[in-house]
Amino acid sequence: MRKFYDSQLIFKFYHSDSKQSKKMQIIDNFLEKHRNIFEEMKDDFRTEKNSNKGARGLSVEQVVRIGIIKQFAQLSYRKLYDDLNDNICYRNFSKIHSGAVPKFNVLCENIKKISPRNWKKINEALVKYAEEEGIEDGKKVRIDSTAVESNIHYPTDGELLWDCIRVINRIVETVKDVYPDLEFNFQNHTRRSKKRRFKIVNTSKKEHRLKAYKDLIKVSRATEKYCDSCIKALSEKEMKWDAEAEVYKKELKKYLRSLKVIINQAERRVLKGEKVASKDKLVSIFEEHTDILAKGKRKVIFGHKILLTGGASNLILDCIIERGNWSDHDKFKPAIEEVEKIYSAPPGAIAADGGFASKKNYEYATTEKGVEKVVFTKRASAKIEKLIKTSRAYKNLKKFRAGIEGCISAVKRAYGLSKCTWRGWESFQSYVWASIIAFNLNVIADKLLL
């Protein structure tokens, strides 16, 4: 059974005069004070049989501490492994001390186990800690949304069809090697599809591109049949309790489902000239959860929108992460409710972007929640004089709202929030929360070092 935390400190935390070490000491103090968080994470690390056998592994506390180091210093897993071996400050902060550092793939596997729900709990504890230290009281908040990209290449129908064909063929070839006695129809069209994809990308003539697309779709249809034939053959092995066959079957089903969607959208868009709605499109076979977000009239982002609520101290108090290209207007109410949950009272002043502006949102904040001052960067249906008592207060809150743009820029630039590098929807949410926590820890450390 995995331990929650180390009960005994082997070496005293490494002290130095460097700013980095002092910051790590402040973060260490916070984690020591909130050890109960690690016990609440037990479900994320529960083994199948909750067995006491096998290697001891990292404790829950060590995994969280290592995850914080990774996001705080923006390290790859390989660099994280090297730094945990070489950096005395990191070794002591993560409580590895003189022990062996797990390999980079083990570090990755463990950090990914922390659920978004538990990352959020850490941030809530961090915000409460800031309140206890007199850094943030939540009485004055600013709200804005931004987009976080998924880690995918720019999607085109030709590229997506090529992705499906090469991945399915690779899995089927592996199945043939593992089960040489398995009989099913298959012909590898990887080279042919690669040539058609190359022609689509490099030809300038529309008729040549259309001809290449038609052949690529034809190859995709054939691959679809071969994949379905392989799945049926694997089903026979699965019935004989073959666990490996079950894994291959599950993977093939996933990519076959994606292939069918992409063939449909390619035929509609390229061959029939139809416009396919964003909600009906698939932009990646690896990150299927990715949404298409229009930023203005020209820029398109492939990822997800998030809503950030910041405080006067520059801390990010809360984050809402939801699928779809939702409107800012609809998230104003949930943003206030989340802040109210944290501080057990609504904020006294709110500054929000123009996308949140409406009479309905203003009346909800002032009438239902009792917020004294509410400002949007563009006017709602009422005049400024009706929205707020004095023009000076309006101007000050408007300037205050602009500060969250700097916070968003900092967390994207320094803590990796511009693009999520973790795979899957659950991991996407975890990555966003981990980046926010790293940013908040730095803000609190800077405030306490003054």
DSSP 67-118: HHHHHHHT--HHHHHHHHHH-HHHHHHTT-TTSPPPPHHHHHHHHTTS-HHH
Tokens of 42: 């037990």
How many Å apart are CA 261 and CA 243, to the nearest integer? 28
User: Using 50, 70 and 90 to split pLDDT, how confident is the model at 56?
Assistant: low
**Any bridge partners for residue 300, and if so which?**
294
Q: Are strands 316-321 and 299-311 parallel, antiparallel or unpaired?
A: antiparallel
Q: 9-44 in b/e burial notation, b at 16+ Cβ within 10 A?
A: eeeeeeeeeeeebebbbbbbebbeeeeebbeebeeb
In this prediction, residue 384 carries a pLDDT of 44
Q: What does the pLDDT look like over 93-149, one tens digit per residue?
A: 999 888 889 999 999 999 999 999 999 999 999 999 999 999 999 999 999 999 999
Q: What does the pLDDT look like over 284-312, one tens digit per residue?
A: 999 999 999 987 767 899 999 999 999 99
Alpha-carbon torsion (411, 416, 419, 424), positive or negative:
negative
Q: What does the pLDDT look like over 134-187, one tens digit per residue?
A: 999 999 999 999 999 999 999 999 999 999 999 999 999 999 999 998 889 999
